[in-house]
Amino acid sequence: MRSPRPTVLLAVAALLLAGCSSGSDPDPAAASGAATGNGADVRDLDALTIPDLQSMMDAGDLTAVQLTQAYLDRIAEHDDEVGAVLTLNPDALADARASDDARADGGARSPLEGIPVLLKDNVDTADLPTTAGSRLLLDSEPDDATITARLLDAGAVVIGKANLSEWANFRGADSTSGWSGAGGQTANPYVLDRNPCGSSSGSAAGVAASFAQVAIGTETDGSIVCPSGANGVVGVKPTLGQVSRDGVVPISAEQDTAGPIARHAVDAALLLAVVAGPDDADEATAQVPDGTDTGFADLDLDALQGTRIGVWSPAPDSGVDAGTLAVLTSAVAALEAAGATTVPVELPYQDEIGEGETPALLAEFDRDLTAYLEATDGDVPDDLAGLVAENDDDPVELAYFGQELFTEAIAAPDAEQTRDRIRDLAQRSVDETLAQGPGDDDDLTAIVALTGTPAWVTRYAGVDGVADEFVYSSSTPAAVAGYPAVSVPAGFAGPRGALPVGVSLIGTGWSDADLLDVAADFEDQAQARRAPGFLATVGA
């Protein structure tokens, strides 16, 4: 397996510290030149991992202030093109300075000490607005979410809030991913007229563009893994209950979870290790079985050796093009080169799961979002009906697409039996596929599938007559089951081979640590990621 690149580390350390003495505040001009365009290769910042950065900070070769300034400069240079950051934290440098002081006084509090993090703007922060992308929540006044508090206690620097598909892409039937009334449109940093996928669009695009080291996204079905695949980063959708949802604007408590997005599997694992764990405010976190492996950051780069991995390929009529299918073929070859045996599989019950998911989510959305709004201080509507009425009067909110899902959710009948049925089917779908025979020797460690297809050109139903040109996704079984999935960069496809494609590794409940091992080993073997180039277009 490949070892870290010490020459890259030394070069980046010199670049980041150009003109800055150890332990002092950086000269902003020097930091900008070091971290972005004046003689520095932006891929250097892209390549650094959290362990690299911690080694540099522990050695006195880098400070959290310098690192945070480098990311702020990167945002200033490129976010006008990408639109990933909805709100910058005005206290980010002060928070970084406090992190440096804490390190000097007693050492790093965690592996995230001094590490800049973006939070999707449906994760509550007491000192920054939490909008879920909606202009109607600009005056909300929440407390910190549990995961926000854990990041701050760990010494992480919240550099800002990431844009998202408004209401996590659960407002209009013809929504455009990456657009919100509060933040506008997020672009894909690889090709700017392409979509970042939703709904953790700003989190994934921001990490891909090196606007932060890591980010928090959230997923109900596909909203971590799809943008991660489309933006060439690692995204972890944990088992439901692994991470607290307290203080996260909901769609449904039956499927929602927050999770890490990072450029490197090790960084995603370290972020998960900080934010995971029991929380009295979220009863799902009490369901972690005894003996569950929560050593997420203890990655095994030989994890694939001797494993059996199921390969779930798109159906012939899926619409997935040959170039994207070739990425899956390449990924299978990488798995085998790392020592895995691959087995073709088909996941059962997908039609029944798909038919029941939206009716269940509509009923749960009204229940769970209303509870969130009622518990949130500030000038915000009380319920879904209030949101619908205020959207109708807003000059921006309905410009590109409607709010059909809001109105359907208000009228939706109870769907508890539907939920129970589709959860059971989704869990059986994964578990029966993993259990390939009567003995343990036949079992699969994980299932691999294309996360999705290359990013489509961004369009709007209200302007162009068409919105997201969504073709294929493998996210639903894990999402409805409440099981983990990890998307990892696997290659490039689309026009001029310019657009990232990821593969998702899917496992049974509470197998998150094992999946991260497999993901890290695959990442190490495939070496498929490259930094974005901010191309204006590659054609239709």
Q: Between 350-375 and 404-411, two packed helices, what is the crossing angle to 10 degrees?
A: 90
Are 174 and 461 in contact by the 8 Å Cβ rule? The answer is yes
Q: What is the DSSP string of 293-326?
A: ---TTS--TTTTTT-EEEEEPPPTTS---HHHHH
Q: Is 110 an active-site residue?
A: no
Q: Provide the 3-class DSSP secondary structure of residue 88.
A: strand
Q: Is 199 an active-site residue?
A: yes
**32, 134, 199, 473: the active-site residue:** 199
Q: Rounded CA gap, 194 and 540, in Å?
A: 9
Are 197 and 452 in contact by the 8 Å Cβ rule? The answer is yes
**Tokens 């009380």, residue located:** 382
Per-residue DSSP letter, 332: H
Are 86 and 123 in contact by the 8 Å Cβ rule? The answer is no
Residues present in the chain in total: 540
Q: Is 120 an active-site residue?
A: yes
Closest CA to 33 of 90, 74, 67, 63: 74
Per-residue DSSP letter, 168: H
Q: How do 377-378 and 140-141 pair as beta strands?
A: antiparallel
Are 454 and 540 in contact by the 8 Å Cβ rule? The answer is no
**165, 223, 228, 313: the active-site residue:** 223
Give the catalytic positions in this structure: 120, 199, 223
